[in-house]
C-alpha cells in the first residue's frame, strides 16, 4: 500500500506474478551479433540496444518464438532475463504519478 499526503495512491503485491500469457514483459537478450539480432527480430517491440544486448517488449508466449528465431538465424544466445523494477522504482513511479 502506498499513501501520499494522506491519500491511498496505489497498492501492489511484492511477489511478481507473470502468469498471464497476454501480459507484456521487458526481456533482455545477450547475443554474439547484435546487428543480426536486430534484423531477425525486425524491431518488434525493441526498446533499447546496447553493445551485445537488446531489450524487447513482448508477450510471455512470444519469448520462445523470438529465441527460436535468433537461434535458427545462427546467433549464439548467452543470456535471457526479464527486466523488473526494484521496489524503490515502483514506489517512485507510483508517488510521482500520484501527485
Please check the confidence at residue 88 and state whether its pLDDT lies above 80. no
Check residue 46 and give its pLDDT.
81
**Global pTM exceeds 0.95:** no
The model's pLDDT over 20-73, given as tens digits with 9 standing for 90+, comes to: 566 788 999 999 999 999 999 886 778 889 899 999 999 989 999 999 999 999
Q: Which of 66, 90, 67 has its CA nearest to residue 77?
A: 67
* H helices present in the chain, as ranges: 34-41, 63-72, 87-97
Please check the confidence at residue 6 and state whether its pLDDT lies above 90. no
φ, ψ dihedrals at 56, nearest 5° = -125, 150
Domains of the chain: residue spans and CATH: 22-85 (3.30.70.100)
Amino acid at each position: 500500500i502506498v499513501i501520499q499526503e494522506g491519500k491511498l495512491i496505489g497498492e501492489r503485491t511484492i511477489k511478481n506474478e507473470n502468469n498471464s500469457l497476454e501480459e507484456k514483459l521487458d526481456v533482455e537478450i545477450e547475443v554474439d551479433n547484435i546487428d543480426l539480432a536486430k534484423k531477425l527480430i525486425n524491431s518488434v517491440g525493441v526498446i533499447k540496444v546496447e553493445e551485445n544486448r537488446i531489450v524487447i517488449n513482448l508477450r510471455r508466449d512470444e519469448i520462445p518464438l523470438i529465441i527460436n528465431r535468433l537461434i535458427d538465424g545462427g546467433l549464439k544466445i548467452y543470456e535471457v532475463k526479464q527486466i523488473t523494477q526494484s521496489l524503490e522504482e515502483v514506489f517512485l513511479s507510483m508517488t510521482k504519478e500520484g501527485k
